[in-house]
Chain A
């Protein structure tokens, strides 16, 4: 671990306690969404569209309803009508009109696998049988999958009422006609014409990326009970219990307070478990039947109908001087949002050039609808595709100028005060520290062995957001602390937030018992996403500790008969002061807690706070690859991920986040992608054919943690999870160039694509 000199000495932060949810997870007792069992529960299942684009002419459910055991069937018509609007989901927004049509298709189905009707039956086998009895008549329509084709004036139109929402000034995207371009944004600073005029070398390239799926192992699920008194309870695996409550309330047009969402353990999300798919449908089925209804998705439906990333087309033009100074960049990003607007192109735009201090730049982003599933957030949403393109061009510039790829990156690295693409100055960041750590690493200084081997590097950036969090704590007379969290725990937040509360209070971690609770039992909290939870949620845990300290000081002051301002609370949780007789006094944490029953009872505190800052994080990866010229197989020989994490709260979890993110990125680089046939049908909706990395595809992922504390957080936390998925696509692509001399412009670089390049030459 690389530490900076100003890092304070912590007692709890930096240790590696065992996770509070650990024993339940290794014994099978942890209850995930699909594990819920309720008396009288029905099982729900969904009929999905077989076409890429079709008008629904007629749905006849009568035969299915007649099947013994079938209790209800619902379609889009059973939902209240929705007007256009904006729902804030924390990591992105949703338009209720589009959201309801995605949950169950309105007049048209817009992608293969789009939900059409839902059945509730006494048994899941019967629910499946009933689906086959629902008759749907479709008028098949022309479809468009490719993002560039979808932007043409001749493309089939998905939404006749869609017009381009131009956010960019000085651009000429038409706004008055039918289009699939939902949005055009532009971010610029400096003068790109003047910048390119200064350049000794200009490289311009076009890149495409396939659609990738988050690939969480637990399929989406949702269980609902609509009680006779109108109260609705939803049990689900979600990254945001409050985001689910908001969406369910809106789609059912029910008061928010009437809906209780119980977040179950969640089996992975990576951004994909923020939008609702099943929960509102289960609620409707429950209303019709008066019984709880449980639903879960088959894996194929998860691939067909839940958020993959956008497939993208990106053009990057960068100019540099002979010494490697980057002087201008012109970037165009086109992201396929899927069936409804709202790809992550905005973040793609803001991250594209973030690894560089580049004075003259212009970035255009287009959000385009296509006949593919509605995209959802996926780890650093939008950033991998745009940064991949930029990191590939920078590599080509370095090669053309014969400059070491890390030297050119160091020369152009941003630092505190450098302005980002929108012109805002950056706080203290660790970009240069990451670059230095790479240059000094054993890996970067090792020799590559063997034929057809190559090494590549790339940088990555993510913001790490703030937003609202709530935590409550009750301090008990025995000194233990019950901590209630609004943030669902997707990969260790119970531990990371409890550790920050323990540090703030100065008590051992073991004294804190963290627990995630339902939306009726804790204040509003945004989603666990965007790497915001350990950052912003941890900040709230810190504030909770500070508030408890204040209350305990007041208790001591009352006991000693003095003013609270004369009493102090040390970082070892010892309260010291002088009583009214002038005698020195002290309480340990446990001693003051023992006095609760006679001094006013338990201390219970809630902190609810919105954080508007970010924890900008830089990552840099080194990949060594070997190419088998006969089969096109790429072996990753060695892989190192370096990242500025600010402060590592639980270093083992931080390493785990980085390793997991890097491996998802390696999957995107080499093997994962959606395949559509000539009818626009997804042909690889299974874990066999959508090939995520398995254990023997990979070398160990070496991790180097750099700690440049974030000045915008009491413990210097930056957020960790997103940044590591950003560099792999470019690091591996650049390593392939080094190995076999071929620059690839599409990712993933599958064996077929490698052979396509190698075979004609041999």
Chain B
């Protein structure tokens, strides 16, 4: 039986420094959802196979169910709650809406975080590159087509914005 210990963790979550109490057995997914109430991080499988809990940890895309909360001391975490700004939705969010890239929406936060990480690394991916990158995210409603279209539409918008 795992022993339980209370941990005080400080990290930067969506741009704000947060100090919170966690259980030593908490995954990052559990800490974000249950300790910090960031319910946009979704649990689909709790073993790294569905991508619904994807977040960006120190610039890297991770499945938060496969990271321990104890590991994020001093780290920077970005979740779906951190994508929009007071000015409005991020291009990816807007394009997911416009392209009807979601139905039930449970996988959407994970897809948005994976796509954010993709476009940060590769601003002009081919369709095959998008499909390959998103292969770690399961969606059971859409058949993926409209998600690919949305990511490409957002990529184009973001490239235009940069010019």
What is the interface of chain A, defined by CB distance below 8 A to chain B? 16, 18-19, 21-23, 25-32, 34-35, 37, 123-125, 129, 132, 214-219, 265-270, 296, 298-299, 490-492, 652-653, 655-657, 659-664, 686-688, 692, 694-698, 700-701
Contacts and interface: CB of A to CB of B under 8 A. Distances in A.
Contacts of A298: 46
B1 A687 contact: no
B97 A18 contact: yes
Contacts of B50: 217, 299, 687
Contact of A218 (B30, B44, B99, B145): B44
Given A18-B97, A23-B97, A686-B49, 5 more contacts: A26-B93, A268-B106, A270-B140, A660-B103, A695-B144
Contacts of B135: 694-697
Contacts of A27: 40, 80-81, 83-84, 89, 93
Contacts of A16: 100
Interface in B95-134: 96-100, 102-109, 112, 128, 130-132, 134
B147 interface: yes
Given A26-B89, A659-B145, A218 B100 contact: no
A217 B45 CA distance: 8
A698 B46 contact: no
B108 A25 contact: yes
14 contacts: A22-B96, A26-B112, A28-B40, A28-B109, A123-B23, A124-B30, A125-B4, A218-B104, A267-B105, A296-B43, A653-B103, A656-B142, A660-B143, A662-B143
A492 B103 contact: yes
Interface residues of B, number: 62
B37 interface: yes
B75 interface: no
A265 B39 CA distance: 13
A217 B111 CA distance: 12
SS of B interface (majority)? loop
B38 interface: yes
Contacts of A29: 40, 81
Contacts of B89: 23, 26-27
Contacts of A215: 138, 140
Contacts of B140: 214-217, 268, 270, 660, 664, 692
B41 interface: yes
A686 B100 contact: no
Given A656-B141, A659-B145, A663-B143, A18 B43 contact: no
Contacts of A695: 130-132, 134-135, 137, 139, 144, 147-148
Contact of B100 (A23, A270, A656): A656
B64 interface: no
A267 B146 contact: no
Nearest to B94: A26
A216 B140 CA distance: 6
Contact of B145 (A267, A661, A701): A701
B47 interface: yes
A656 B101 CA distance: 8
Contacts of B97: 18-19, 22-23, 26
B42 A32 contact: yes
B62 interface: no
A656 B37 contact: no
B144 A698 contact: yes
A659 B25 CA distance: 40
A226 to B, nearest CB: 23
Nearest to B23: A125
A29 B131 CA distance: 26
B138 to A, nearest CB: 6
**10 residue pairs, one from A and one from B, having the closest CB atoms:** A28-B40, A267-B106, A25-B105, A659-B143, A687-B49, A663-B143, A491-B103, A652-B100, A28-B80, A26-B93
Nearest to A36: B39
A31 B145 CA distance: 25
A742 to B, nearest CB: 27
A53 B25 CA distance: 34
Contacts of A688: 47, 49
A392 to B, nearest CB: 23
Given A656-B100, A696-B128, A217 B39 contact: no
A22 B42 CA distance: 16
A383 to B, nearest CB: 19
B136 to A, nearest CB: 8
Contacts of B109: 28
A37 B38 CA distance: 12
B31 interface: no
A597 B61 CA distance: 56
Interface in B1-46: 1-2, 4, 23, 25, 30, 33-34, 37-46
Nearest to B90: A26
A637 to B, nearest CB: 14
A132 B23 CA distance: 19
Contact of A268 (B96, B128, B141): B141
A510 B69 CA distance: 43
Contact of B104 (A28, A31, A219, A268): A268
A512 to B, nearest CB: 18
Contacts of A125: 2, 4, 23, 25
A487 to B, nearest CB: 14
Given A659-B146, A687-B50, A219 B43 contact: yes
Contacts of A219: 43-44
Contacts of B4: 125
A550 B24 CA distance: 64
B84 A701 contact: no
Contacts of B99: 652
Nearest to A31: B39
Contacts of B93: 26-27
A19 B43 contact: no
A219 B49 CA distance: 14
Given A267-B42, A698-B144, A216 B104 contact: yes
B40 A32 contact: no
A688 B103 CA distance: 23
Contact of B39 (A35, A270, A653, A697): A35
A32 B106 contact: yes
B96 A26 contact: yes
B103 A37 contact: no
B35 to A, nearest CB: 11
A663 B106 CA distance: 18
B1 A129 contact: yes
A432 B81 CA distance: 49
Contacts of B42: 32, 217-218, 267
B102 A22 contact: yes
A28 B25 contact: no
Contacts of A269: 104
Contacts of B108: 25-26
Contacts of B37: 37
A732 to B, nearest CB: 15
Nearest to B130: A695
B138 A692 contact: yes
Contacts of B136: 694
Contacts of A266: 104
A700 B25 contact: no
A16 B39 CA distance: 29
Nearest to A663: B143
Contacts of A129: 1
A31 B37 CA distance: 12
